[in-house]
């Protein structure tokens, strides 16, 4: 049907009956949904029984790579892990890079659909198309590095790549993640969905090769992208050397790095100790995902002090925020240790850090006391308490068992107006960028299909002053609806379907992202698409996601901000005085819905769905 790009095969794993079946990737699916999250959401939308609980065995957990994985396309090495989220109850996808995704592709699969629930703890091995269901009893409770190693031992080949959950996922914490190598499909509780299926891990070994339909064209288009990357003033010169923590300085400059549970954004005292120059002192290595020439991930290690010996691939910017500034902690070794522990435990650093910051504020305000913390002095800045809380969250001990459910449910538990301090949207704890000083970030958080998630439509225009598609005023609300639609659609298709790395998109090819993706996709697969069609795929999948959520009961009122952000203004720094109101939000939502061809309730119109070729509407 087509000569390359895809393996053409979808693997369906029925854990209940320990049955593996293969299905074909159809031409229409490939042309209309491209791959990655496009495939995953199309299947979820079609097959998910509305109203099913996220941790019910009838939820589906989907791992999907894209048409450019393992082709040699620069930085196209990621995968989507999708399901209904137990944290947001919406459709959701987390993404991870590293080497597992390409290994899966080389093993012969574009997508794995995991269904049912294993009677006993299980893991699945996939070696070049040979699928085995295996007993994971002995792996239960194991942290993620050990899990990977024990599986490789058992399979007698350490070149398997393993995606697995830690104890947090086994214990069904909705902030549990999935770890492959030292990378995380971090947010929205995909680890809990995996845990609910009694699936500890998937191990993959692939020695195959992906065909390229038009190798000459592919080579040429690949060069276009590599050149754009080379010409970026940021990508290699800065980002390669410092990675995402460089954004600590950028957001500090803009006054939008959130501090102490978002109460002290703009306060600058602590930030110098978290900034780039300080971060650099701990770098010992750079890590590269497959087919990456950038190597943004800075491996850091504490060599002395109480955290000596802790090492992590990261901590990335969002972790520096969540476990650092948001908890009032500016001791980098503690953040490195926390990052590593989150990876070992299999919990999302952002949700965990925001949950701890939330608890710290309640403790400082006296809403919770030593009785709740079992004597732990849970004050902002207490790094030992942060580390201890990560352990308690993972093993669901005392207060940890409450925070392990995320801030939304924790606030319900504590009552007394604590929702005010619960910094989440649709249940998903917010990333670092304070929306009051970056309005498109705010609108994206509010409307992203799986809650407050910067990666679903990152407004790089507001952060790096890149005038694509045009120059923006980060404080303005006007124009942010149109911008956010564009950001979300382009991001979804290029990063989450084609699985190109988002950093490359932001820093090197924002202006040519869709063209570039169209060209590489056409060359790799032999399925000809235009840039416009590519962008439309992004729009199509965002509409599918919206339809899924509407079916699950989501309405306009869920496209919201946390109450605190609409009550308080930013108190200091370069965004001092900035605020955001319900009126601001409503204006932005109206513009956004309009740009999307959705009605005032946020529901896609029949005309829009027809335009996108979406015929199934429940």
- Minimum distance of its own copies from residue 250's CB (angstroms): 27
Cβ contact 196:55 at 8 Å? yes
Q: Which residue has the tokens 């701990």?
A: 282
Q: Which residue has the tokens 């393996």?
A: 7
| Of residues 152 and 268, the one with the C-beta less far from its own copies | 152
- Minimum distance of its own copies from residue 102's CB (angstroms): 13
Please report the beta strands in 188-296, taking only residues with DSSP state E, as ranges in sequence order. 199-205, 283-287
DSSP H helical segments within 123-208, as ranges? 144-155, 167-170, 190-196
Residues 341-400 close enough to bind its own copies by CB under 8 A: 344-345, 391, 394-395
Characterize 76-109 residue by residue with b for buried, 16 or more Cβ atoms within 10 angstroms of its Cβ, and e for exposed. bbbbbbbbbbbbbbbbbbbbbbbbbbbbbbbbbb
Among 70-78, 262-270, 304-312, 491-499, which window interacts with its own copies (CB under 8 A)? Answer: 304-312
Binding mask 121-140 for its own copies (x = CB under 8 A): -----------------x--
Of 85, 582, 589, 52, nearest to 351 by C-alpha is 85
Q: How far apart are CA 215 and CA 227, in angstroms?
A: 18
Residues 306-345 close enough to bind its own copies by CB under 8 A: 306, 308-309, 311, 344-345
- Minimum distance of its own copies from residue 306's CB (angstroms): 8
* φ, ψ dihedrals at 500, nearest 5°: -70, 150
| Of residues 143 and 578, the one with the C-beta less far from its own copies | 143
- Minimum distance of its own copies from residue 343's CB (angstroms): 12
| Of residues 307 and 554, the one with the C-beta less far from its own copies | 307
| Of residues 311 and 386, the one with the C-beta less far from its own copies | 311
| Of residues 341 and 509, the one with the C-beta less far from its own copies | 341
- Minimum distance of its own copies from residue 302's CB (angstroms): 9
Q: How far apart are CA 568 and CA 414, in angstroms?
A: 22
- Minimum distance of its own copies from residue 432's CB (angstroms): 27
Angle at 69 between CA 66 and CA 71, to 5 degrees: 130
- In sequence order, the 6+-apart residues with CB closer than 8 A to the CB of 250 are 463, 464
Q: Does 249 bind its own copies (CB under 8 A)?
A: no
Candidates 141, 208, 253, 295: give the one binding its own copies (CB under 8 A).
141
- Minimum distance of its own copies from residue 181's CB (angstroms): 8
| Of residues 148 and 575, the one with the C-beta less far from its own copies | 148
Among 141-149, 470-478, 523-531, 595-603, which window interacts with its own copies (CB under 8 A)? Answer: 141-149
Cβ contact 59:417 at 8 Å? no
- Minimum distance of its own copies from residue 271's CB (angstroms): 27
Q: Does 167 bind its own copies (CB under 8 A)?
A: yes
| Of residues 285 and 370, the one with the C-beta less far from its own copies | 285
Helix (H), strand (E) at residue 180: strand 178-180
Task: Give the chain's count of helices (H) and strands (E).
Answer: 26, 17
Residue ranges binding its own copies (CB under 8 A): 138, 141-143, 145-146, 149-150, 152, 157-159, 167, 284-285, 299, 301, 303-304, 306, 308-309, 311, 344-345, 391, 394-395
């Amino acid at each position: 049907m087509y000569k390359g790009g895809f393996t053409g095969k979808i693997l369906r794993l029925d854990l209940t009956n320990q049955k593996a079946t293969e299905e074909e990737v159809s031409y229409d699916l490939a042309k209309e949904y491209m791959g990655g999250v496009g495939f995953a959401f199309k299947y979820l939308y079609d097959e998910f029984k509305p109203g099913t609980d996220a941790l019910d065995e009838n939820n589906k957990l989907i791992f999907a790579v894209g048409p450019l994985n393992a082709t040699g396309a620069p930085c196209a090495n990621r995968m989507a892990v999708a399901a209904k989220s137990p944290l947001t109850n919406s459709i959701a996808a987390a993404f991870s890079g590293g080497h597992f995704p390409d290994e899966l592709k080389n093993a012969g699969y574009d997508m794995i659909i995991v269904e049912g629930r294993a009677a006993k703890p299980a893991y699945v091995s996939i070696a070049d198309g040979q699928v085995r269901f295996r007993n994971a009893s002995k792996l239960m409770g194991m942290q993620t590095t050990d899990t990977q190693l024990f599986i490789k031992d058992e399979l007698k080949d350490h070149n398997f790549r393993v995606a697995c959950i830690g104890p947090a996922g086994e214990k069904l914490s909705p902030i549990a993640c999935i770890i492959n190598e030292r990378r995380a499909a971090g947010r929205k509780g995909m680890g809990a969905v995996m845990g609910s299926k009694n699936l500890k891990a998937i191990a993959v070994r692939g020695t195959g090769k992906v065909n390229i339909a038009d190798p000459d064209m592919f080579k040429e288009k690949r060069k276009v992208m590599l050149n754009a990357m080379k010409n970026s003033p940021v990508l290699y010169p800065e980002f390669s050397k410092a990675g995402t923590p460089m954004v600590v300085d950028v957001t500090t400059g803009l006054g939008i790095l959130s501090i102490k549970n978002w109460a002290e954004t703009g306060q600058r005292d602590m930030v110098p100790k978290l900034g780039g120059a300080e971060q650099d002192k701990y770098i010992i290595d750079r890590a590269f995902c497959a087919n990456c020439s950038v190597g943004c991930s800075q491996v850091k290690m504490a060599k002395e002090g109480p955290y000596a010996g802790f090492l992590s691939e990261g901590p990335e910017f969002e972790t520096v925020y969540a476990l650092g500034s948001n908890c009032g902690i500016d001791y980098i070794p503690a953040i490195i240790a926390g990052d590593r522990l989150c990876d070992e435990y299999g919990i999302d650093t952002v949700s965990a850090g925001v949950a701890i910051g939330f608890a710290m504020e309640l403790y400082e305000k006296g809403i919770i006391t030593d009785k709740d913390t079992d004597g732990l002095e849970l004050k902002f800045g207490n790094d030992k308490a942060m580390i201890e809380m990560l352990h308690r969250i993972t093993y669901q001990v005392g207060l940890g068992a409450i925070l392990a459910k995320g801030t939304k449910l924790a606030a319900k538990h504590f009552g007394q107006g604590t929702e005010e301090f619960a910094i989440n949207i649709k249940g998903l704890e917010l990333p670092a960028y304070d929306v009051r000083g970056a309005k498109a970030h705010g609108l994206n958080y509010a409307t992203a299909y799986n809650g407050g998630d910067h990666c679903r439509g990152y407004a790089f225009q507001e952060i790096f002053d890149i005038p694509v598609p045009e120059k923006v005023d980060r404080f303005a609300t006007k124009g942010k609806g149109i911008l956010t639609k564009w950001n979300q659609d382009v991001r979804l298709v290029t990063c989450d379907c084609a699985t190109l790395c988002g950093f490359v998109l932001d820093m090197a090819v924002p202006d040519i992202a869709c063209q570039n993706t169209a060209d590489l996709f056409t060359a790799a697969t032999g399925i000809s698409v235009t840039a416009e069609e590519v962008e439309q795929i992004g729009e199509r999948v965002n509409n599918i996601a919206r339809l899924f959520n509407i079916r699950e009961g989501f309405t306009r009122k869920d496209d919201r901000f946390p109450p605190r952000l609409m009550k308080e203004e930013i108190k200091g720094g370069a965004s001092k005085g900035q605020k955001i109101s319900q009126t601001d939000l409503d204006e932005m939502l109206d513009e956004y819905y309009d740009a999307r061809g959705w009605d005032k309730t946020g529901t896609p119109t029949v005309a829009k769905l027809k335009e996108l070729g979406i015929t199934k509407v429940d």
